[in-house]
Structure 1
Amino acid sequence: MATQAGSVLRRPAKPEIAVFVSGVVSMGLEILGGRIVAPEYGSSIYTWGTVIAVSLAALSLGYHVGGKRAAERASLGRLSWLLLAAAAYAGALAFAHEPMLAATANAPLPTRFESLPAVTLLFGVPTYLLGFVSPYAAELTRKDGVGAASGHVYALGTIGSIAGAFGTTFLLVPALSVERIALAFAGVLVGGALRLGRPTLSWKLWGSGRDWSTRASRPVLRGPTDAELAVFVSGLVGMGLEILAGRVVGTQFGSSIFTWGSIIGVSMAALSLGYHVGGKRAAERATDARLARLLLGATAYVAVLIFAREPLLGATTALPLSARFASIPAIVLLFGPPTYLLGAVNPYGAELSTVEGTGAASGHVYAVSTVGSIVGAFAATYVLIPSLSVEGIGLLFGVALLATAVRIVVSAPAPERRPTVMSVAVALLLVSSVAAPSLGYSIHGEVVHQTQTPYQELEVVDRGDTRTLYLDGKRHSAMDLDDPNRHVFEYTRYFHMPYLLADDPDEIDRVLFVGGGGFTGPKRFAEEYNATVDVAEIDPKVIDAADRYFGLDEYRESGEINVHNAGGRQFLQETDHTYDLIVMDAFKQDKVPFQLTTVEFMELASDRLSEDGMLYANMISARSGPASQFYRSEYKTMGEVFPQRYSFPTDDANVVQNVEVIATKDDAPVTESELRERNRRRDIGIDLTEEIGSYQRSVPTDDVPILRDDRAPVDSLLEPMVGQRYVVQETDESESATAAGAVVRDPSAPAATAR
């Protein structure tokens, strides 16, 4: 049987090697970027959106400049120099990322933009250099046709990005320090450069070589063509969907690095397939009408997402996958098809481009697309998600795609078969998806408030006499409407344990809570004790909801509670206060800010504590076994800084539950019998007899790591808990100061801290 020439397996050509390697490292740097800046700026959607947007901006600039220079300067030698220059910068990051981070820490910018200078300095330069590689390689490829060459090259680059995203997320970050990962990237780039051959030294790699005195050569300003508009909008919506995916799947799978890595990897895979298939078909089939059909197909799927995202999400949760990969089927089903269709737009746009030259046309088109992606990333991160519902954001994306398709349909040449009927049908589908009732489930109870925040979806729900704060569909806080300061959840009673561990409870004068939620603990402390209570809560809309629906405003107005809209680590870095007690109440089962778990954070907390100060950590974990790994690792990490630690699991069974750990600066331990005696003698407003009985005297830590800023595999440690039911106990309605009352296990309790 004769074998078609196009199907013969062959070794990759040298330009293809360069493209693949640049894709691996550029995406690996993007994932690593989120890890490096998190200790300073947290890991909110603002930080991730900034990392993604800066990476796209640098790539876009590299595509644009490289595309303009590709026709005259593209060579294997220059490709080699590009990889070596990027390798030098990646290697420098391994040794200089901390001073570079510190140099940008005090930029006078709003909170949502404060990480922008650091991300730009750390990752903008190498990513810009790697952006040159694709248009240079497109110019050097043997593919015939602009669409085929650009589709092939950018598909290879995106396959490299997939490898970089998944490899960094699932292999490198859990196993290696930040420094070693950066050095590994430098090594990959050097290896790729050596594979290309001897670098060609030429100043024209950086200079334009253009006679700027000749004004006639300057391009004339013009409006965008239909192909350019389609490419821009596809980039905008594609990246907007990627950011939105974090919000949609986060409600079910959390927002760990595994979830974000899966989102980025699946998006890259879908784009790569779109580039490849679109590139193969572009030379023969690229027309304005077919370009419009791609946009209409993506619009139709966005309409399906608006209408049926909850059932589609639920359909993937029962698949028997490891926890770190559990979100992949949902991401593929929900966001793979539209991203694939949008990926096919680019090679069609390149084939229809008016720019001459394969490298120039491909560089121009992919630069325009990436500019659209930048707009989509910033808009979704800083404007849409904090302001609109998921349905509202989906509607805007659908309208943008539909409007672009209609413009192309209207302006298409007369002989073409215009997809007019398809346009009308998709428009009706989009309108119907918004007008029809959602197929998703609703939380039982009366929803009195609902909004999107920069960090999560927030709902306040009344059921009977209990008001509950839901974050991403999970219970976080509860308040008895008839008795607002009653502890609804059993574990919040343990917050008073430091008043038994202290030599003199009256010396606990200033308390800091990291994490507010419904502010149950801070309000009770303000009522019970003569202490100044500060709270660092990172989410401004959580603070607003607590003011309006949980009575926080009264305490703020009276000065009993001081609320600071800041992340816990950032607040401790900036405050000049000294605290007698710091309560860490910012952890979830599926999402723990790793920057609040490390030795460096413990040292910072110790510096902000008084001589006899204590650090209290409310964690979710099992008592023992694989699901206890994070708790035991954190216990071990605390021991690197604090002489004494006391552990109190809140349930006798080995189930996922709240585990309270208190670390003190006191060298002398307090025994269980001493705690019981102090509980009998001291009037601290609550009887902790039952709670003292849960004291866990021995916590094995030989098989778990110490967590540090440069290597804190928190997501891997949390992985055994994913999918397990979290048991939270509720106090009896008749709770008094002398009895905990009956315990109720809530079968619908979520995988998150309920404050």
Structure 2
Amino acid sequence: MLGLLQLTVFVVGAVLLGLEIVGSRVLAPYFGSSIFVWGSLISTFMAGLAVGYAAGGWVADRRPRLVVMAMLILISGVLVAILPLTAAPINRAIVSVDFGPRLNPLLATVVLFFLPSIFMGTISPYAIKLAASSLATIGNTAGSMYAISTAGSIAGSLLTAFYLIQAIGVRSILLSLGATLIALALVLLIVGQLWRRRADKLVATGGVLALLLFGVSPLATARTLYEKDSLYHRIIVTEDDHVRTLRFDRLRQSAMDLQDPDRMVFHYTQYLHLALVFHEDPKRALFIGLGGGSAPRRFHKDYPGLAIDAAELDPEVVNVAKRYFLFQETERMKVQAVDGRIFINKTPHRYDMVFLDAYYADAIPFHLATREFLQELKRKLTPSGIVVTNIIGSVRGADSKLFRSIWKTVQTEFPQLYVFPVDGVANIIVIATQAQERLVKQEVLRRAQELETQRKVHFPIERFAHSYVLEPIPVDDVPVLTDDYAPVDGLLHFSAW
């Protein structure tokens, strides 16, 4: 009986942490993957466990029977197994009402995961009650059970994060976790009736069955060419009429016109060519963030003398760009699947242009926005090298704090900054140069017109240059971002609760 109880707390611990890890992927398509999402998940599971521990001890003292514990596990399994059906409509309902970037994920995690975590939390105190043979050894029994449960949690966390998310997808993981608990509950129910006849073989069979149930295959969705959970995103490629779109979680990242693959579907990518105003004859450029690869692919086509490197954190994104978005490496264009900051520190090259396009609308990699990162980046620029950053936000008003904080941070390392809000969308192009003299707006317009006239640039960059921001950017109320202090999530979402 003791071995069966130990197996039980191990499996329940594994499922619990597996559910918490995959929970982030359940929420990400609707609420992103910011610190608010993770804070909501951790808090909800901890609260559920606290309630479960208390409730499990109370019930165990009054009905210390194996069949009762089996029913608690069975209920947990059913609650987890129905998540693939309930999660999407619940998340959509919360998004449609919109309680704000903090309350949205918190409410979703409570609705989806609080009850399963309560019922799973009841199991460890219940197992301790059933395993305890005397008060003299209750401490050892409790310690052993919690140690085994924690070991299960570690195993479930690693298995889910390192293998399952990449191997079988979110829906299949949820079904498998639920099925594992249901199978374990059925084994316990059988053993509860037959334990006097020694049910060791049944226990072993139940464990094998539970493991086999992890192999449920994911379902395909209509109009979707590709869908996979990588280490960093839920990657989705869809096709609507003649436009193919790449999404990370719920956000569009790149698009390609199938009838004209060289057309820049996202307007902000055309504004990137304003870089030529500030460095007319670049020899080497770096793109941090690849997406579908449309921007580096167009630079590769338009500027034959330009060598291009790209650093993309997610190797699966690189594969998708090559498979679905016509991105091809050549002698002049290479890509590495590596974090942009790691690439900067390792590359032997120096760049005339660096394009930083790795920020999202709902979260940004803070380590690519700090003063220390800019210092490292600056060391890899040529003397006239420039940095072009795409920021999603607003120059003024309630949603401008992130932009102004990044502006203030970049100002600490680069003497000249130029801001070009993209017409009609929330993108802001910031160009930082090392020049001591500032280019006035008329000079920027003149250079842009000259590049167009000489057909060195194939976009109407003179029109784009008219968005040049002349007004001072107020920065007194925002911090300089550093590796030690970079509250980017709060700056991004500060205006809503």
Q: TM-score, normalised by structure 1?
A: 0.60
Aligned to 1:718: 492
- C-alpha change, 1:721 and 1:551, in structure 2 (3 Å) is farther
Structure 1 residues 721, 384: closer, same or farther in 2, change over 3 A? farther
Matches for 1:265-280 after TM superposition, within 5 Å: 265-280=43-58
Q: 1:399 maps to what in 2? A: 179
Please name the residue that 1:373 is paired with. Answer: 153
Note the C-alpha offset of 1:224. 6.3
* 2:90 maps to 1:312: yes
What is the CA distance between 1:325 and its match in structure 2? Answer: 2.9
Question: Helix, strand or coil for the counterpart of 1:278?
Answer: helix
1:694 corresponds to: 467
Partner of 1:294: 72
* Whole-angstrom distance in 2 between the partners of 1:415 and 1:574: 61
C-alpha spacing 1:335/1:662, structure 2 compared with 1 (3 Å):
same
Displacement of 1:284: 2.3
How far did residue 405 of structure 1 move?
A: 1.2
Q: Who is 2:128 aligned against?
A: 350
Q: Distance in 1 between matches of 2:241 and 2:93?
A: 31
**Aligned residue identity for 1:536:** A
Please state how far the C-alpha of 1:480 moved relative to its aligned partner: 1.0
Q: Return the letter of the residue paired with 1:623.
A: V
Q: How does 1:116-265 map to 2 (within 5 A)?
A: 225-265=3-43
Cα 1:722–1:244 change in 2 (3 A) is farther
Matched, 1:362 2:142: yes
Distance 1:299 1:574, change over 3 A: same
- Out of 231, 244, 248, the position equivalent to 1:471 is 248
Residue 437 (structure 2) aligns with: 668
Deviations 1:571-609 (A, max 9, x none): 112222111111011101111011011110111111111
Give the Å deviation of 1:315: 2.4
Q: Which moved more, 1:713-722 or 1:370-379?
A: 713-722
2:201 is matched with none
Pairing partner for 2:334 from 562, 569, 573: 562
Q: CA offsets, 1:601-623, max 9 Å, x none?
A: 11111111111111111010022
Q: Which residue of 2 aligns with 1:515?
A: 289
Contact 2:168 2:218 in 1 (8 A): no
Offset of 1:551 from its aligned partner? 0.8
Partner of 2:318: 543
- In 1, the alpha carbon distance for the partners of 2:218 and 2:321 equals 32
CA distance in 2 between partners of 1:578 and 1:350 (Å): 62
**C-alpha distance in structure 2 between counterparts of 1:721 and 1:617, whole Å:** 23
Match of 1:470, SS state, is: strand
- Matched AA of 1:583: F
Asked whether the 8 Å contact 2:28–2:250 carries over to 1, the reply is: no
Match of 2:266 in 1: 489
Contact 2:81–2:179 under 8 Å retained in 1: no
Q: Which residue identity lines up with residue 401 of structure 2 in the other structure?
A: Q
CA contact (8 A) 1:275 1:344 kept: yes
Shift of 1:255: 0.9
Query: 1:327: Cα distance to partner?
Result: 0.9
Name segments (4+ residues, structure 1) moved above 3 Å.
318-322, 413-416, 434-438, 720-723
1:376–1:414: structure 2 CA closer, same or farther, 3 Å change rule?
closer
How far 1:437 sits from its partner (Å)? 8.8
Q: Output aligned runs, 1:6-17, within 5 Å.
A: none
Contact kept? 2:391, 2:403, Cα under 8 Å = yes
1:451 aligns with one of 209, 228, 233: 228
Q: Does 1:605 align with 2:377?
A: yes
- Asked if 2 retains the 8 angstrom alpha-carbon contact of 1:515 and 1:537, the reply is yes
For 1:435 and 1:367, the matched residues in 2 are separated by 33
Q: Distance in 1 between the 2:3 and 2:22 partners?
A: 28
Q: Which of 336, 359, 365 in structure 2 is aligned with 1:587? A: 359
Q: CA deviation at 1:388?
A: 1.6
Q: Secondary structure at the match of 2:95?
A: coil
Cα distance, 1:542 vs structure 2: 0.8
- Amino acid of the residue matched to residue 359 of structure 2? F
Q: Measure, in 2, the Cα distance between the counterparts of 1:228 and 1:343.
A: 15
Gaps of 5+ in 1: 1-222, 417-426, 724-755
One-letter amino acid of the counterpart of residue 601, structure 1: F
- Judge conservation of contact 2:313–2:340 (CA < 8 Å) in 1: yes
CA contact (8 A) 1:589 1:721 kept: no
Greater displacement, 340-349 / 451-460: 451-460
User: 2:418 aligned with 1:646, yes or no?
Assistant: yes
Instruction: Give the alignment partner of residue 623 of structure 1, picking from 391, 395, 398.
Output: 395
Please give the secondary structure, in 2, of the residue aligned with 1:327: helix
* 1:700 partner letter: P
Cα distance in 2, alignment partners of residues 721 and 386 from structure 1: 35
Displacement of 1:685 in angstroms is 2.7
Instruction: Give deviations 1:98-128, integer Å, cap 9, x for gaps.
Output: xxxxxxxxxxxxxxxxxxxxxxxxxxxxxxx
In structure 1, the residue matched to 2:202 is none
Q: 2:171·2:218 contact (CA, 8 Å) conserved in 1? A: no
Moved more, 360-369 or 713-722: 713-722
CA offsets 1:425-477 (integer angstroms, 9 cap, x no match)? xx9xxx9xx89999xxx7xx821111111111111111111111121132110
**Residue of structure 2 in register with 1:677 after alignment:** 446
| Residue 703, structure 1, aligned to residue 477, structure 2 | yes
RMSD over aligned Cα, in angstroms? Answer: 2.2
How far apart are residue 308 of structure 1 and its match?
Answer: 2.2
CA contact (8 A) 1:228 1:353 kept: no
Partner SS state of residue 396, structure 1: helix
Counterpart residue type for residue 473 of structure 1: R
Instruction: Identify unmatched segments of 5+ residues in structure 2.
Output: 197-208
Q: Bigger shift: 238-247 or 465-474?
A: 465-474
| Structure 2 partner of 1:19 | none
> How far apart are residue 392 of structure 1 and its match?
0.6
Letter in 1 for 2:357: D
**Contact preservation (8 Å) 2:284, 2:351:** yes
Instruction: State the distance in 2 between where 1:224 and 1:518 align.
Output: 54
Other-structure match for 1:409: 189
- Residues 536, 564 of structure 1: 8 Å contact kept: yes
Q: Quick one: structure 1 residues 437 and 541, their matched pair in 2 at CA, closer, same or farther if it must change by over 3 Å? A: closer
Work out the CA distance in 2 between the residues paired with 1:562 and 1:450.
25
Counterpart-to-counterpart distance in 1, 2:492 and 2:78:
37
Q: How far did residue 286 of structure 1 move?
A: 2.3
Aligned to 2:345: 573
Distance 1:361 1:677 in 2: 80
* TM-score calculated relative to the size of structure 2: 0.91
CA gap of 1:225–1:580, structure 2 versus 1, over 3 A, is same
Q: 1:467 to 1:352 in 2, by over 3 A?
A: same
What does residue 24 of structure 1 align with?
none
Q: Secondary structure at the match of 1:701?
A: coil
Asked if the contact 1:227/1:288 (under 8 Å) is kept, the reply is no
